[in-house]
Structure 1
Amino acid sequence: MLELVGTVEASEPVLWRLAELTGHGFRFAAEASRHGSRLGQLLPLIDFVKVDLRAMPAATMLALVPRLRGTGKRLIAEKVESQAEYKTCLDLGFDYFQGFYFARPSVLTGRKLSPSQQALVELMNLVMSDVDNIDIERAIKRDMTLSINLLRIVNTPAAGLRQRIDSLSQALLVLGRRQLQRWLQIMLYAEPGTRGPGHTPLLMLASTRARLMELLAQRLRPGQRQVADIAFTVGITSLMDTLFCVPMADLAEQMGVSDEVADALLRRTGFFGELLRLAESFEQMEEGGDVLPALRELAASGDDLAELEMAAFEWSEQVVRYAL
């Protein structure tokens, strides 16, 4: 789908070109408030109408949306920043939603992890302890669903393995504990008991952020594998307060993270905190976020960041395809 920006005039040559392209299978979208009175001329040639919640008064939107629905166009709510806005737009009849509403934590004080989630966290702690591999394998085998899902996700192309893994013992041997830890962290987002309308994009955002931070750490601290692993952990953990509806401070305590990881998650300080701020700024760039201060602090270039972001997105897409 191609979006017609607000500067596109509904002139005769433009309308003719749109008609030609739609005949070749192209589909177009236009944002309602930016096109104003020109939207009526564009409607016959577009499939999607976007409504920017930040640019359109609520009263105008309430009057406009029913009319747009009558045209048969698919409606996209843009810049949806809270669950309340998402619910309002859903009730109005919007078809699609853009924004970070799914990544905002709805914190329920005192809420604990579910038994299955707690089991995954305990297994993650076990993997990083000094116990023998056979003890880890036994712990995983106690939950057949966990065993099956783990084998499925470690065989994703994103794992980069040249051989298929068919057993838990092989997974431990081939992957190593740090790699196994990362797939367990990802599985928390794909855990069956937590799935819902927001969890697919949340998994995508968390895995992309974690991979970007890992790649940045590799670029900035070459040869320091442990630093890249910690960067991934910080990224994947940074949205778990949203996933579990638990304050991040409580979550960090329950998971027993190190001081440098806690500083990054709670205060955005230290090397990993700066990486996290950079990743968050990049995600919000279309919403007016500024990545330049963080880039300067990390001595990274915008071109490097764009290249790494694309690589992280492609990796995450593979993860999501196999994880759900």
Structure 2
Amino acid sequence: MPPVDRNLTRRAAHNAADSPAAAPKGEAKLAAPVLREPESVYLGRQPIIDRNGALHAYELLFRDSPDNRARIFDDVQATAHVVARTVGEIGLSAVLGDHRGFVNMNRDLLFDDIVHIMPPERFVLEILETVTFDAKLFKRCAQLRAAGFQFALDDVVSLTEPLHEALPYVDYVKVDFLASRRADLPGLAATLKQHGKTLIAEKIETHQDFEEARKLGFDLFQGYFFARPQVLVTRRSNPSRTALLRLLGVLSGEPDFSELEAELKLNPNVVVQLLRLANSSAFKLSRPVSSLREAIAATGTRQISRWTQLLLYADGRHLPWRSDPLVQLVGTRARFMELTARAMRPSSEEFADAAFMTGIFSLVHVVVDLPPVEIMDLLKLSKEMCAAIVDGQGPLGALLRLSQAAERGDAPELDSSIGSSVDFKVLTPAVLAELQFEAATWFGAHRVE
């Protein structure tokens, strides 16, 4: 019987238990589940410590149950859930305290809207070993670094030419102690140190591993020798997203007054927040609204629909709106797209409404366990909106790309998104800046504290 490869066995154990949000690393991906509303939400975290054994940061890991294992059906969606749970459902202070969180990012995620939800001073973007580096990615990394993000290279075992080219864009390099050849580690560590990088020794399992990494000059350490990942859990708040989707389905069918009132009564938390909205300064009513019927009449089905769309992202959390970056992003984006659509086609209210809804549902993959196309079918969204969100096609797709470029402050991409279409010629830099400001102002006026 041949000898057992100890490193291979240990590596398999790590891959099974510690697969992070965007890195299946050997796990079989599962088919996407149907929409479900578990009573609790879960998040894994593993400490990263310094040379003195003090906590430096956490790596955040996708978990969907109390079992300390990752069951990943979609890389992007898994990381989206990690970020949404950290920022919103559990909370940054509860998850990270005063420390940073490392989050795994594949190439698609680095260009995805999920980045805008993360406060840059709290997150390190960990670039997976499978990412292909090129000029476009380096440009994106430079943009995100300018915004305040730090980067780490993940699972490094040798300094290949692509990784060498990436070094100017990263702050940390994580070296995989299980996969690396021990004879190569001194040279690898010395070279990375010469480039001024903070070195993290990951998958440290024994005291011998720890001592060896310390002698080689590693700054930070992570692995089973210190701690296995911890699973954090919190109760899912109400109203459930299933109920909100059902309410949006009713709203999309132009319900009569009684039908809408009956459906709203099934969502008591929505009713409470709807009453707050109706009594907010944005509506400037002569007297306070005190009943559901009055609230419906005061706000109208269009505003109720928009409010419910935003609650889908907030998931009914009782946070001030300005404290919820996901709701802030999607609300401001949708309003910006609506205003831009009006500037392009002043006489088409239908185009403006479609632009608003495209903006709202462009981030649906962050919070709902269904692909965007299935959500759009459920909500009876048009083919034009579906094509815009899924493939970036058509005028609505161009508007979505325009809003994303504006959020990044990417002037060249703004010019590219506008293109040669006559409709888009009205969107000069001065007009776009004014519309961005107006969208942010609208969001602030409609938030409910």
Cα distance change of structure 1 residues 155 and 227 upon mapping to structure 2, 3 Å threshold: farther
Q: Which runs of 5+ in 1 are unaligned?
A: 1-28, 30-49, 65-87, 89-113
CA distance in 2, matches of 1:246, 1:188: 13
Q: Identity of counterpart residues, as a percentage?
A: 29
Is the aligned partner of 1:315 residue 2:438? Answer: no
Is the aligned partner of 1:227 residue 2:351? Answer: yes
* Equivalent pair of 1:295/1:301 in contact (CA under 8 Å): no
What residue identity is the alignment partner of 1:246? L
Matches within 5 A, 1:162-201: 162-163=285-286, 164-192=288-316, 200-201=324-325
Q: In angstroms, what is the RMSD of aligned CA positions?
A: 3.0
- Name the one with the larger strand percent: 2
| TM-score, structure 1 normalization | 0.60
Could you tell me which residue of structure 2 aligns to residue 137 of structure 1?
A: 261
Tell me the CA shift for residue 51 of structure 1: 6.3
- CA deviations over 1:177-225 (Å, ceiling 9, x no partner): 2222111111112223698xxx811111100100000111111111322
Cα distance change of structure 1 residues 160 and 55 upon mapping to structure 2, 3 Å threshold: farther
What residue identity is the alignment partner of 1:62? T
Matches within 5 A, 1:23-102: 52-53=150-151, 55-59=169-173, 60=196, 62=198
Larger radius of gyration: 2
Could you tell me which residue of structure 2 aligns to residue 290 of structure 1?
A: 413
CA distance in 1, matches of 2:362, 2:325: 15
Cα distance change of structure 1 residues 144 and 57 upon mapping to structure 2, 3 Å threshold: closer
CA distance in 1, matches of 2:340, 2:279: 25
Tell me the CA shift for residue 61 of structure 1: 5.1
SS in 1 for 2:367: helix
Is the aligned partner of 1:272 residue 2:399? Answer: no
Cα distance change of structure 1 residues 202 and 222 upon mapping to structure 2, 3 Å threshold: same
Cα distance change of structure 1 residues 160 and 280 upon mapping to structure 2, 3 Å threshold: farther
CA distance in 2, matches of 1:267, 1:289: 21
Q: Which runs of 5+ in 2 are unaligned?
A: 1-120, 122-147, 152-167, 174-195, 201-221, 223-237
What residue identity is the alignment partner of 1:294? S
- Report how many aligned residue pairs link the two structures: 221
Tell me the CA shift for residue 130 of structure 1: 4.2
What residue identity is the alignment partner of 2:430? D
* Equivalent pair of 1:128/1:178 in contact (CA under 8 Å): no
* Equivalent pair of 1:268/1:276 in contact (CA under 8 Å): yes
* Equivalent pair of 1:154/1:183 in contact (CA under 8 Å): no
What residue identity is the alignment partner of 1:253? D
CA distance in 2, matches of 1:249, 1:143: 25
SS in 2 for 1:222: coil
Is the aligned partner of 1:146 residue 2:146? Answer: no
Greater than 4 Å deviation, 4+ residue runs: 159-164
